[in-house]
Amino acid sequence: MFRQTPLLLAAVALVALTALLAGSASALAAPVAQADGCRANLTSRNWRAILGHEPTASRATASVKAFLKLGYKGTKVEIRGCGDYAVVIESPEFSKYQVRNAFALENARAKLVVSYARPPGTAAKPGDVVVVFGHAATLTAAVALLKKVAAAGWRETDIAYGGPRDWKVVWPGVPGAKADQIVQDTLKLGFLIELELA
């Protein structure tokens, strides 16, 4: 549905390499509009599959181009602000858990960890909490933690800017009634989480 070519293990490594090289060849990258202020005003109405986060527009653009060449249709840059450029695929199909799960498992075979972001502005329900898997001083460190969390099965997680040198890996919109079980489950896998009111 989102891909036209078979999975290639080496291809995903090529995406990372292309994005890395783009940091020194920004003139080759297509321009990406800058957001006003530190945080962007996200206007998406759909769930997004997050393929990666980059610290510059040029690296994100190069990553998008590489994913498009591999057949990831609809890949684009989502400007999060504060130096966070997410590489995403937006689709109403991702509102279905089965589609999200199948897409994540397909990409896991190619060693690509996918996480998902809910539509911006999704209202929290009374009693909902935000699970915080950890804090990082840099976006790069937060991305590494996000990959570990998503690979462990918590894929509806994302990165949130908490302030200078504070990037958080979060799972928003979790029913408070499930909090105790989530604390136990995450602890078994070595994650010491925090809970915040949504």
Q: Are residues 110 and 37 in the same domain?
A: yes
Cα 28 to Cα 11, 53, 54, 64, 182, distances in angstroms: 20, 19, 16, 13, 45
Q: Are residues 46 and 69 in the same domain?
A: yes
How many domains are contained in the chain? 2
Q: Enter the pTM of the model.
A: 0.78
Q: Are residues 16 and 114 in the same domain?
A: yes
Yes or no: say if 57 and 29 are a contact pair by the CB < 8 Å rule. Answer: yes
Q: Which of the 8 DSSP states describes residue 25?
A: -
Q: Are residues 11 and 35 in the same domain?
A: yes
Bridge partners of 115, per DSSP, are 50
Structure tokens given for 70: 């591999």
State which of 122, 148, 172 marks the end of a domain: 122
Cα 178 to Cα 29, 59, 76, 97, 131, distances in angstroms: 44, 38, 34, 18, 11
Q: Are residues 118 and 148 in the same domain?
A: no
Q: Are residues 138 and 156 in the same domain?
A: yes
Q: Are residues 69 and 87 in the same domain?
A: yes
Q: Are residues 175 and 138 in the same domain?
A: yes
Q: Considering Cα of 175, then 180, then 172, then 195, what sign does the dihedral take?
A: positive
> Per-residue pLDDT for the chain (198 aa), expressed as one digit of tens each?
555 444 333 333 334 333 433 333 332 233 344 444 466 678 788 999 999 999 999 999 999 999 999 999 999 999 998 999 999 999 999 999 999 999 999 999 989 999 999 998 888 889 999 999 999 999 999 999 999 999 999 999 999 998 899 999 999 999 999 999 999 999 999 999 999 988
State which of 61, 95, 122 marks the end of a domain: 122
CA distance 137 to 157: 18
Q: Are residues 130 and 89 in the same domain?
A: no
Amino acid identity, position 100: R
CA distance 24 to 137: 23
Task: Write out the residue range of the structural domain in which residue 100 sits.
Answer: 1-122
Q: What angle do CA 161, 163, 169 make, to 5 degrees?
A: 35
Q: Are residues 130 and 118 in the same domain?
A: no
